[in-house]
Structure 1
């Protein structure tokens, strides 16, 4: 098992999720041992960055605006995301997910984790917005696609290359 990161290491990891000027001024939060979020550093720009999730095989810190953090909170608490609040999330170090269809999968059901390179995510948009993008269970991660389609947590994954 990997050694837990120090607060300084978690702050550095979280900041790498977003463009430098966003990460530099963002609030940095991390999950404690009881699964509750704790603030490591207060920010000033309305973004919140979270360090790498050690339970996934890839490096996947993320940074989200206020609306996207409402969506993240809903996903973490298994509640309905706020309606009418479109949010933006950065994952500039990429990410790994166990499933493109199940928001709560802990391990892949198929042969592999879904690996997406650097990308941004659009969350909380109207369902019609997502209808214009592919929704396959095993997506082409080199082009925009919808993750967790048909669930309250569907969102657009848009690669940045």
Structure 2
């Protein structure tokens, strides 16, 4: 994420996308819905949906062009998740969530998608099944200690994230090699959500 940098990371996108069968598709819709919420509402008013070309362009900003050009692009609308462009590599990208204050398109590989699915479903992710995510356009603020926080409350250590990559699903020993402070220096690699099943490495890209 972000979710984070992912979903509640509003990255991390609260969340997305596995196109390997009906079961994965259903889980993907749930993940994408958590990340993007209701794209048709903004302050109680219906919001016109951007065209597919703009959504694709937004999603491709998440990753290097060499990755994004062959990635599957998906987006949420009133009917649920839909594929805007079928890709040919292991990555799936999603466009910016217009309901968050900053740009946060996201691109993740298959293992990262499984990890996000576990996170959104409050399930234990498979340890040692390493996944990789790009958020090169930046991310929206998130709690560094609570995987499910939606807003700062004075005690959940809200952090600001710029362009970054994420490594998820690693063994605990992998994350032990990086800072785990609740209030990290976000200009350097650090562990988000340390001590939870969803800890992951945040690595800024300058």
Normalised TM-score (structure 1): 0.89
Give, in angstroms, the shift of residue 151 of structure 1: 1.4
Preserved contact between residue 91 and residue 120 of structure 1 (Cα < 8 Å): yes
Preserved contact between residue 96 and residue 114 of structure 1 (Cα < 8 Å): no
Distance 1:69 1:107, change over 3 A: same
- In structure 2, the partner of 1:148 is 193
Aligned residue among 144, 152, 173 for 1:100: 144
Give, in angstroms, the shift of residue 130 of structure 1: 0.8
In 2, Cα distance between equivalents of 1:52 and 1:70: 20
Consecutive unaligned residues in structure 2, runs of 5 or more: 1-41
Preserved contact between residue 15 and residue 23 of structure 1 (Cα < 8 Å): yes
Secondary structure in 1 matching 2:191: strand
Preserved contact between residue 99 and residue 109 of structure 1 (Cα < 8 Å): no
Secondary structure in 2 matching 1:25: coil
- Counting matched residue pairs gives 160
CA RMSD of aligned residues (A): 2.0
Aligned residue among 20, 32, 45 for 2:65: 20
Distance 1:95 1:131, change over 3 A: same
Cα deviation 1:23-57 (Å, max 9, x = unaligned):
110001123347x5332211001101111123322
In 1, Cα distance between equivalents of 2:193 and 2:136: 20
Give, in angstroms, the shift of residue 140 of structure 1: 1.2
2:104 is aligned with 1:71: no
Distance 1:104 1:4, change over 3 A: farther
Consecutive unaligned residues in structure 1, runs of 5 or more: none
Give, in angstroms, the shift of residue 154 of structure 1: 0.8
